[in-house]
Amino acid sequence: MDTNQYLEMFIEESKEHLQACNEHLLELEKNPENIAIVNEVFRSAHTLKGMSATMGYEDIANLTHKMENVLDEIRNSRLHVTAELLDVVFVAVDQLEEMVLDIAAGGKGKLDVTDTVQKLHKIETGEVISVAATTVEPSIIDDTTTNTTQDNWLTYDDYEMTVIQQSVEQDFFTYEISVKLREDCLLKAARVYMVFELLEKMGDVIKSSPTVENLEGEDFDEIFYVALVTNEPSDDVQKKLMKVSEVTEVLVNSVTLEQLKKRNSFEVDKVEETSVVEMTDVTEDNQQIVEVKSPEKSPTSKNNQVQSSKTIRVNIERLDILMNLFEELVIDRGRLQSISEDLHNSELDETVERMSRITGDLQNIILNMRMVPVETVFNRFPRMVRQLARDLNKKINLEVIGAETELDRTVIDEIGDPLVHLIRNSLDHGVESPEIRLAKGKPEEGTVVLRAYHSGNHVFIEIEDDGAGINREKVLKKAISKGIVSKESAQAMSDKQVAELILSSGFSTADVISDVSGRGVGLDVVKTTIESLGGSIDISSTEGQGSLFSIQLPLTLSIISVMLVELGEEIYAIPLSSIIETAIIRSSDILNAHNQKVIDFRGKVVPLVFLENVFDVPRESTDDEFHSVVLVRKGDKMAGLVVDSFIGQQEIVLKSLGAYLSSVFAISGATILGNGKVALIVDCNALIS
């Protein structure tokens, strides 16, 4: 059997089952007596075993089988849950995930798991539970030897009866077929698909019970029923269907038009007799449900049909292509707006305005399609925290808040590693050991909160702990020894400035280098990555009480709002997310402080950055009385960007400069304007020191 067509489905479902295993095992550690959780893990492991065996990945199947044996011993109360037992099971889950990822990367899913298998075997005490598959001999039945009860009869509407009648007139046979799958069949939807594929080659499928939607959603037990119109003999139909893997029984019942008419008449009488009772019963149980289904309707309720079509899986490459095409549309929209302004044609203006509204709505829909819950990143951390806490001999509880908060997929792909570094930092440097916490009057168990929420056009992700906080003296001592700050400047630094020193390259306060920390690699990478995404990181800490790391990120990196400004004959774009406001200042308002030109902006000294000098813009020297200034911000720091004039606000498509120009100072990308010109996008973070 060619299983390649199911490979993508296997990989996706395997990842889901492994994630479920991780989550439930973490719950099980907190509630070791809860057999319901064990059953959930067992169900996921059992499903994965069946899928991998069907797909031919024996290493995965064997390892899950051993893990399943241990879980079965637990749920039968022959084993008790311990931290050591869960450690081995977690290792097994990690190795399973590694094999699945190898398959996704085009590998064969092979891995040496001998050591883990031996450990699982040692843990397992008692008889190995194995369910032997029972083989049921197939049989062919006619209308006089059917074991199908009246409750399992298929009923037909007028259209279906007409199709059957026309088929009979053309000397076709009508069969009602009962197909039974193995009780432990895991890929039921795949088996149904293979059965239907065979049936459609032999004739026309008129009806199925359950409905096709329910069959595809695996919403049935082991048996389903199909009505087939074909010119093939019943024994040929039965033999072909029995060749489908995991099909244990096929019953083919030849029916006549008269039988079907008589049956439909019987069903109508049956519904008329019971409809009043059904309606009364339902109304007493639930006032909102008063619908009685007629036999002609599908067994699937209307609500269930809606639920089954809520989501579809789309390859991410298709969304990227859609986004690229829409970006081109945004560029053309800007071009049309520019032409419209030049021509002053009322009909053209009206059309362009309508197009702008429609593309604006389309933009919102496409950007929402690219949004992914941060849960996809957060899911990995409970397991990581558990393992690190054990390695550090600490008791730590991780609270996750706002996992449903959505971010652009591009940001999601990049934010995982920075969060890993920050959480590891909180566990190692922040939360104290149980002995120290008790001595300080704190609870023995420390708490780390991972929080995400929306605010305007940004998403904030926060990591907060109730640990020791940042030791000012220790940080300053290390910073001075590393030459990051001088002794003189260190004394004048605020607590916030001292806290931000830990983001410096090569900085670490760890006394001992370990696998967790101490090498001075981590938080500087966090800062660099977040700033490359157009975000910022802020640190608040109170010594003895804890620390808060707050990351601010843009919702999307593809289409951004900017302020277009003019420098000589060149146009630059400044992201609105960095702008506080714009101002016109007199030359006489510009002051000098420490060889730096500054202005007094509402009682605060703000340094000026002349973009014409930064970007070497060719121009004639002029002594203007007034200067246009764009006030921008990076955290608590501000700067005034001096430009020639403001053009206005516009939504633009952010384009990369490519590999050769990736290191250009203070330029984050470029965009094509409506008039066809290229505007460079200013990286404000690089200009604020």
- What letters, b where the CB count within 10 A reaches 16 and e where it falls short, cover 344-363? eeeeeeeebeebbeebeeeb
Partner residues linked to 550 by β-bridges = 462, 538
CA distance 506 to 520: 4
Work out the burial of residue 585: count CB atoms within 10 Å of its CB; fewer than 13 is exposed, 13-18 middle, 19 or more buried.
middle
CA distance 601 to 373: 40
CA distance 155 to 323: 47
| Contact present, 463 and 426 (Cβ < 8 Å) | yes
| Contact present, 642 and 628 (Cβ < 8 Å) | yes
CB atoms closer than 10 angstroms to residue 221: 10
The DSSP string of 201-232 is: HHEEEEEEES-HHHHHTT-S-SEEEEEEEESS
Encoded amino acid at 520, one letter = G
The DSSP string of 405-453 is: -EEEHHHHHHHHHHHHHHHHHIIIIISPPHHHHHHTT--SSEEEEEEEE
Q: Is 290 helix (H, G, I), strand (E, B) or coil?
A: coil
DSSP conformation class of 655: B
| SS3 per-residue string spanning 609-645 | EEHHHHCCCCCCCCCCCEEEEEEEEECCEEEEEEECE
Do you know the residue count of the chain? 689
Q: Please count the CA atoms within 13 angstroms of the CA of 529 that sit on its side-chain side.
A: 19
Closest to 646 measured CA to CA, from 600, 584, 601: 584
Out of 68, 73, 464, 570, which one is annotated catalytic?
68
DSSP conformation class of 660: T
Q: Is 596 helix (H, G, I), strand (E, B) or coil?
A: strand
Q: Known catalytic residue: 425?
A: yes
Q: Known catalytic residue: 213?
A: no
Give residue for tokens 């429609």.
Answer: 358
Out of 17, 46, 421, 429, which one is annotated catalytic?
46
Q: Which two tokens stand for residue 218?
A: 């695996």
Out of 421, 425, 429, 464, which one is annotated catalytic?
425
CA distance 432 to 429: 8
| Contact present, 508 and 517 (Cβ < 8 Å) | yes
Pairing of strands 579-586, 570-575: unpaired
User: What positions carry a catalytic annotation?
Assistant: 46, 68, 425
